[in-house]
Amino acid sequence: PETLTSINNMGALLESQGRLAEAEPFREEALETSRRVLGNEHPNTLTFINNMGSLLQSQGQTTEAEPYYRESLETSRRVLGDEHPRTLIVISNLALLLADAGNGAQALEFADEAVELGRRAIGAEHWLLGNFLGKRGRALEELGRFAEAAAVMEEGYAVLVAQLGEEHEQTTRVVGYIA
């Protein structure tokens, strides 16, 4: 597990530096090793599946990323439950992917689910809810509902600023959605 964490962390570091192609082999190795050592239903494996989807999405490979998110979501729902924070993160990530792929209607369904479950499970003041609201706004934007999108994104921004501050990566990401 320590080696697995180190491999994953190297992928995360490279990814954070924008070195996405270099990060991919580390993310793949972490995922495959986790599947083999911990099994497909282990929470770490589910995170690594989600991470692989995120990396592919960052590279603009939405078609390739979607099966990873869907696998992670299906297994997370079964193993962790709908209201577990890891499940909620995958739901919102899938919403953003679908919005980026031009499927605003389906993106909004997942985004609405993440926000609704998030409010109930983690509360209206949790920083993750701010993230979910930002992704809901992105789905609304994809549907051309710009005024509603801006209001939702501003609500998410307010939660993130209150919980994490203006300079945090999560906050600036929502600012990017608003822009």
Q: What is the pLDDT of residues 42-67, one digit of tens each?
A: 999 999 999 999 999 999 999 999 99
Q: What's the rounded mean pLDDT across residues 145-155?
A: 96
Burial class, 78, CB count within 10 angstroms (exposed 0-12 / middle 13-18 / buried 19+): exposed
Give the count of alpha carbons within 13 A of 147, CB side only. 0
**Confidence class of residue 3 from pLDDT cuts 50, 70 and 90?**
confident
